Amino acid sequence: MKTQFPTKQGIERLWFVIDAENKVLGRLATQVARVLIGKHRARYTPFIDAGDHVIVVNAQKVKLTGAKEDQKMYRHHTGYPGGLKEAQAKKVRAERPIKMVEEAIRGMLPKNKLGKQMFRKLNVYAGDKHPHESQKPVPMDV
């Protein structure tokens, strides 16, 4: 009996829609990362991108627990001396709510070329509308 090995061409990718309204950010991110990586499938292979596409809607209404709204800081460096930029979570939510969800999910993916390839299958939208109806996405409960 031979073991069937998944190949890049033999993978059928599905599309899932996840509603982030009133979901806790970290718990949502772990579920989405799991689908992007492909761990929800029986034929998961660590070095092959076997995951599916994920559409996250209502990213603006995602929940943060405790006092994270005021205490959580998003940091990035411009590359210049003294170029560390910081922003509170409530300011990031007001200006770019998509960034909160994307950064949480990106942090849970592999830190290599494969992780970047998996991240490209993620689509996040602040509202409840998305332009991917032709892919016939299936609602996924988180």
> From the first residue on, what is the mean pLDDT of each consecutive set of 10 residues in the chain (142 residues)?
80 95 97 96 89 97 96 96 97 96 97 97 96 96 86
d(CA 13, CA 80) in angstroms, rounded, equals: 41
* pLDDT score of 5: 79
**pTM score, whole prediction:** 0.92
How do the domains of the chain map onto residue ranges? 15-139
CB 20 within 8 A of CB 101: yes
User: What is the architecture, at CATH level 2, of domain 15-139?
Assistant: Alpha-Beta Complex (3.90)
Q: How far apart are CA 43 and CA 51, in angstroms?
A: 10
Q: Report the pLDDT value the prediction gives residue 64, as an integer from 0 to 100.
A: 96
